[in-house]
Chain A
Amino acid sequence: MRFAVIVFPGSNCDIDMFHAVKDELGAEAEYVWHDEENLDRFDGILLPGGFSYGDYLRTGAIAQFSNVMDEVKKAAQAGKPVLGVCNGFQILLETGLLPGAMRRNESLKFICQPETLNVVNNETMFSSSYEKDEEIVIPIAHGEGNYYCDEETLKQLEEENRIIFRYKNNPNGSISDIAGIINAKGNVLGMMPHPERAVSELLGSADGLKLFQSIVKSWRENHVLSS
């Protein structure tokens, strides 16, 4: 399975993401610059964290109009897995691939610390290697991770079981303790915590690795076993 790690001017978790997928997961990975116009050769798309375009105007606001995002939308439509972490999540929200928006953290502080998450839904291509309600520890590092959506959207997310991760101790004020949500089709996941920073015990936690393993497992089931 071949992953694209999208690099915007200002991305700064791209190397961690590449390392997680290539070295810890053992899949193929390639850095892809934001002006790339074709992602057909990839099976999965990873939008890393950072401060794309300096977070000018709003987090993710400028990135949504870069060339590569048209291709990311195409990949999402085609059902390929698309994972946005931190700034990657913010970009998915601005692009409209996921509903809602990010506000400044309630405390107004940039928070960088390990967080305990609950796996709310383990029946997705991103979470199938976890147990339902499993508690996992994944670090967060953001100033704007205070997730917001209107009540109608929240109801829909809950009814359709699209909240994948919840914070055990809400660090940033996110509505309904939301740490990660998925699209209706189930192939676009956005999350503020950084699974790519939790891929070996040496880093303090290896709980993030299962997320990447889930993606590969699902891809193999659909592409390798059937052929």
Chain B
Amino acid sequence: MYKVKVFVTLKESVLDPQGSAVKGSLHRMEYNEVQDVRIGKYLELTIEDSVQDLDKSVREMCEKLLSNPVIEDYRYEVEEVVAK
């Protein structure tokens, strides 16, 4: 089995009002060293190792559903997991 960790984030050119609110809060807590906060999504997919082309398959899933390419970027990490 594979464990695929997908990170979806807003594109740099897209304002992130939630991230700005969190940054404001951190500054009020006096963590003034924080320059920027961006909020994203984290998804974990467990995928059968019989999949033919894992990268192709994950990329398609990310582009068709898991992220919206108009405003979001994605990246992912793959871990091989020994089935229990």
Interface of chain A, helix or strand or loop or mixed? loop
Residue A148, interface by CB 8 Å: yes
In the bound complex, CA of A173 to CA of B15 (Å)? 10
Choose one: A58, A105, A108, A150; the contact of B68 (CB below 8 Å).
A58
Distance to closest chain B CB from A59 (angstroms) = 10
Measured CB to CB, the closest approach of chain A to B69, in angstroms, equals: 9
Partner of A103, one of B21, B65, B66, B71: B71
Q: Are B18 and A148 in contact (CB under 8 A)?
A: no
Shortest C-beta distance, A95 to chain B (Å), equals: 11
Which of B18, B68, B70 touches A104 (beta carbons < 8 Å)? B18
B14 within 8 A of A: yes
Bound Cα distance from A97 to B59, whole angstroms: 22
Verify B70–A148 contact, CB threshold 8 A: yes
A101 CB–B CB distance under 8 Å: yes
Complex CA distance for A106 and B18, rounded to whole angstroms: 9
**B68 touching A103 by the CB < 8 A rule?**
no
In this complex, the member of B13, B41, B65, B70 whose beta carbon has the largest number of chain A beta carbons within 10 angstroms is B70
Does B40 sit within 8 A of A, measured CB to CB? Answer: no
- Tell me the minimal C-beta distance from A111 to chain B in angstroms: 13
Task: Please measure, in the bound complex, the distance between the C-alpha atom of A163 and the C-alpha atom of B21, giving whole angstroms.
Answer: 30
Give Cα A107–Cα B24 distance, bound, in whole angstroms: 13
Mask, B49-81, CB within 8 Å of A = 1, is 000000000000000011010110000000000
Instruction: Provide the bound-state CA to CA distance between A101 and B17, in Å.
Output: 15
Q: Beyond the given A103-B71, A148-B14, could you list 20 further A-B residue pairs with CB under 8 A, ordered by the A residue number?
A: A57-B41, A57-B65, A57-B66, A61-B65, A61-B68, A93-B70, A94-B68, A101-B71, A103-B15, A104-B17, A106-B15, A106-B17, A108-B17, A108-B18, A108-B21, A146-B17, A148-B70, A149-B70, A150-B13, A173-B15
Closest 7 CB pairs of A and B: A101-B70, A101-B71, A101-B68, A108-B17, A104-B17, A106-B17, A148-B71
